[in-house]
Structure 1
Amino acid sequence: MSASLVIAPQWIGDAVMTEPLLRRLHARGERLAVGALPRVAPVYRAMPQVDEVIELPFRHGGLQFRERRALGKQLHGRFDTAYVLPNSLKSALLPLLAGIPRRVGYLGESRVGLLTHRLKNPKGKPPMVAFYSALSGEPGIEQDTPRLQLQAGFIAEVLQRHGLAQGGYIVMAPGAEFGPAKRWPHFGELAASLRQPVLLLGSGKESELCEAIRAQSAGDCRNLAGKTSLEEAFALIAGAGSVVSNDSGLMHVAAAFGVQQVALFGSSSPLHTPPLNPQAQVVWLKQAPDYLPPLDCSPCFERECPLGHFRCLVDVTPGRVAQLLPSAAATASPG
């Protein structure tokens, strides 16, 4: 059995979308270790095909060559192949410094000499799961669907701690790291219309946003942003009756657990980063035949709306989203 080191992306959603690649590598007999930043390491602990997760002691930004060289010495001789998933130069340094003979990745940031097997970057914005899975060199990557797994006992323990029943609550993830153009502004109105308990999940940076949403709801709405570990947030998502989110990392987590979900897209595109889940329903006004005038500006992939109107999200009404939730959950009228 060969040993492989996978250098993980730095965002939760991207990390989830690498799971099909790792499943392919494991199936053909590769023993997998994943080098990941601490904030995405829990994603890989929820992948049973990963034998080891190595938390990388690197900060976001900066080359940190000394730290990479020290870790490279520790890992020297352990691996036959490295798969470098990010396109940055610095992400390809560790496999070289660790003396890994076969180093696979996409061309990018003048790293030709750092990789031994290089793929050309596809034009445009291809589906990200296929983008990562192509590094396996195998056909049929379009059929890949990410999956995460947690121990049932751990999910039950987390739900019990919060006084929740499996499937008896709704999770909302109103944040998005990328910026306002991916954040739907009507979560508070939707939460106020729901009969079931609502859990608001996100990072500590999103606590204030979630508190404003909680204040709009008269029912059982709990702001847990920044108050759970990522593993606990995963368990709460896995145990939810449904999840409502922007195009974000937690959207991909919900999809990988196969939870019923509503995914809201604005400046980005579900053709590029869709929730690969048969239980997912996507709301994207770009493709809504009843929405006029057409959104010719979408998708713009910008952090802020270049035109200043944010129509792609502002015009998604709470009623439109409520209609996609289980009938017992919502009281909102269509809009």
Structure 2
Amino acid sequence: MDVLIVKPTAFGDVAQALAVVPALKRSGKVRRLDWVVDEDYSPLVRACPEVDAIIPFPRRQWRRSWPLRAVLRWGAELRRRRYDVVLDLQGLARSALMARVARGRRIGLASAREGASWAYQETVADGARHAVDRYAAAVARVMGADPGPWLKPLPLPEPVLPAGLEPGGYVVLHPYSLWETKLWPWERYAVLGRMLEGWKMVVIGEGPCFPLEVPGLVDLRGRMPLERLLPLLAHASALVGTDSGPAHVAALFGTPVVAVFGATDPERTGPRAPNARILTLDGLECRPCLSRRCRAEQPMACMAGVGVERVAEAVRASARRPAIR
């Protein structure tokens, strides 16, 4: 059986899909596995040996306009191969159109939005559950079996790391998010870095470049293309951050993750890995609000209420040391 996965975006969502989709090939039930993905995230999907071919979607180029000739050429490439199954894990109008253009039996999630279900010949009841479980339900429909026995971390890439870093000898800090309600107070990352002895601290991400006074800090903010970010996350001793793409990618490689959650629901989108630790402030009626803006009387109490010592303890308990692998 030949299968096409349609899951173009976003960074963390693609990572969560990669947690289960490779089971199709590992089970021996699928002969060929191709993937439609935003070209910016192609290196992540390419890191999965079970994926045979990538069809990159030029989202950045077409953000403002869709040049007709280029779109037709891209659609022709999408239709070039016939698949037994076209599985849309995005569930939006654009991905549904991609699935409709491709050739094969079209399957989508029942939770699809923007009228996407018009393109599907079958839908999978995915319900209100974790994203990985929703994708697993779709994969189970295709393979006719529970994908659980074939789930495992992605293989580690070669440890091509910035100068001065050794595998397992550093902790990655990712203090950024597009949602302001996902942000842990930035000054706490500096306190945390000074508390964690024995590891170098590496900070990554894109956004306001606030000061982090941490001895020996390796500041890679705004300077990490995805090809270099993947080995950095894969060989870290741990990652500390929030509900963000790097946290999900780190978990995908088996890297311990300590994630602070506030507005979003870890039962739906938390990093899925045995060594992932998700910290929340219990007792707040307003969380998870699933909102980009905080409207509480005490703004951002859900994030500010998670103390530095608590995060440090979680890192010490879960992080791996140099030479562990």
* TM-score (normalised: structure 1): 0.83
The letter of the residue matching 1:237 is L
Query: Counterpart in 2 of 1:13?
Result: 12
Q: Does 1:132 align with 2:135?
A: yes
- Separation of aligned partners in 2, 1:25 and 1:145: 10
Q: Offset at 1:297?
A: 0.9
Q: Does 1:310 align with 2:300?
A: yes
- Separation of aligned partners in 2, 1:64 and 1:298: 39
Match of 1:193 among 187, 192, 195: 195
Query: Counterpart in 2 of 1:150?
Result: 156
Q: Which consecutive unaligned segments of at least 5 residues does structure 1 have?
A: 287-293, 330-335
Query: Counterpart in 2 of 1:183?
Result: 183
The correspondence of residues 1-335 of structure 1 with structure 2, limited to 5 A, is: 2-26=1-25, 27=27, 28-59=29-60, 64=66, 66=68, 67-80=70-83, 81-98=85-102, 100-106=103-109, 107-120=112-125, 122=127, 125-136=128-139, 137=141, 138=144, 140=146, 147-151=153-157, 154-155=158-159, 158-159=160-161, 161-177=162-178, 179-185=179-185, 186-195=188-197, 196-202=199-205, 205-206=206-207, 208-209=208-209, 212-214=210-212, 216-217=213-214, 219-286=215-282, 294-307=283-296, 308-326=298-316
- Separation of aligned partners in 1, 2:116 and 2:31: 25
The letter of the residue matching 1:231 is E
Q: Which consecutive unaligned segments of at least 5 residues does structure 2 have?
A: 320-325
Shift of the 252–36 alpha-carbon distance from structure 1 to 2, 3 Å rule, reads same
Q: Offset at 1:261?
A: 2.3
- Separation of aligned partners in 1, 2:261 and 2:218: 24
- Separation of aligned partners in 2, 1:102 and 1:325: 45
Q: Offset at 1:145?
A: 5.3
- Separation of aligned partners in 2, 1:112 and 1:263: 33
- Separation of aligned partners in 2, 1:62 and 1:115: 27
Provide the alpha-carbon RMSD of the alignment.
2.5
Q: Offset at 1:148?
A: 2.2
SS in 1 for 2:255: coil
Shift of the 40–285 alpha-carbon distance from structure 1 to 2, 3 Å rule, reads same
Shift of the 3–118 alpha-carbon distance from structure 1 to 2, 3 Å rule, reads same
The letter of the residue matching 2:113 is G
Shift of the 25–141 alpha-carbon distance from structure 1 to 2, 3 Å rule, reads closer
Q: How many percent identity over aligned positions?
A: 29
Shift of the 309–229 alpha-carbon distance from structure 1 to 2, 3 Å rule, reads same
* TM-score (normalised: structure 2): 0.85
Please tell me whether the aligned partners of residues 198 and 222 of structure 1 are also in contact (alpha carbons under 8 angstroms): yes
Q: Offset at 1:143?
A: 7.8
- Separation of aligned partners in 1, 2:67 and 2:150: 35
Q: Offset at 1:103?
A: 1.1
